[in-house]
Amino acid sequence: MLEIKNLHISFGNLKAVDDVSFIIQDGEIMGMIGQNGAGKTTTFRLILDFLKADQGSVLWNGHPLTKEDYNIIGYLPEERGLYPKVSIEEQLIYFAQLRGMTRQDAKGKIDYWMDKFQVKGKKTDKVKTLSKGNQQKVQLIATLLHQPKLVILDEPFSGLDPVNASILEAGIKELRDQGSCVIFSSHNMNNVEEICDHLVMLRNGALVLKGTVSQIREQFGRTKLFLESDLTMEALQAMPGVKNVFKNTEGFQVLDLENPDYGKAIFTQVTKNGYIATFSQQPPTLDEIFRLKAGETHA
């Protein structure tokens, strides 16, 4: 279990991380979202002891991380760091040995991980011969080869196409199923919604959202209606409580409501002539919530 308690760090007058607290249980995935400069990478660096907090603590299973504990951590930095002229195999063995694995044990796991992440190339190939996406996969294997109990991934999906992003998602879920604590940052809300058990959002260094995806969405109320009806857009716009109406790419009429309570009256109106194909009242998407919270003025 990873517990972050009241972390603070400032650089001059800038509060980079401002009273951040959260817990990740064994076998859980936490997503961390926020704009560039929100404090995500700084929080990771505080966890890893790359930076010293002005205040607060980082606890692993109830105690501060020791030198030995850092061997059970896997860290994928946002800025990748591979040696282009070294072979995949030798590079992965080197990084695994830094985390306490023997050369033989590391070598025995490379084929499994290269197959799992569908790396295009042979393990004897030099890294510089690989595509950017495959280099990223090798960097991720280096992060995971020693089977870490705590995994920190800073923008792991950056630059990956949807197919490779799905491969990575499967790998992260496997780590969770094996009991690891996983925390990752991402600007792609689809990745976050797909794999997170919990998420936190930082804005200007402060924690502004925390909970499961469904809990966070429900906090904002079911203010979106998706309809398939014979009513005109003008008629829908004129209904009480409707702020905006548009048609989405799937052909649904989408109503933004001032308040979720207007949904019942609108349902009565749009169904007064009988059956309609679709009536679905939903909370805003995580992407919409992200844009809303990122745009708020920080007190």
Question: What is the extent of the structural domain holding 125?
Answer: 2-217
Domain end position, chosen among 195, 217, 239: 217
pLDDT the model gives residue 96: 93
- Residues with Cβ within 8 Å of residue 76, at least 6 apart in sequence: 139, 140, 143, 152, 153, 154, 156
Query: How many C-beta neighbours within 10 Å does residue 84 have?
Result: 11
pTM for the model:
0.86
Q: Is 148 part of any domain?
A: yes
Total number of domains constituting the chain: 2
Does one domain contain both 149 and 228? no
Tens digits of residue pLDDT in 239-256: 999 999 999 999 999 999
Say what the pLDDT of residue 297 is: 56
* Alpha carbons 148 and 76: distance in angstroms, whole number: 12
**In terms of domains, do 231 and 199 share one?**
no
Statement to judge: residues 52 and 173 lie in one domain:
yes
Domain assignment present for residue 70? The answer is yes
295 lies in a domain?
A: no
- The CATH number for 161's domain is 3.40.50.300
CATH of the domain at 243: 3.30.70
Say whether both 35 and 58 belong to one domain: yes
* 80 & 7 share domain: yes
Looking at the fold, whether 163 and 227 belong to one and the same domain comes out as no
Which pLDDT does position 209 carry in this prediction?
94
Same domain, yes or no, for 265 and 203?
no
- Whether residues 108 and 18 fall in one domain: yes
The residue ranges of the chain whose pLDDT is under 50 are 298-299
Chain segment 192-213, per-residue pLDDT in tens: 888 999 999 999 999 999 999 9
Is position 227 within any domain?
yes
Same domain, residue pair 134 and 66: yes
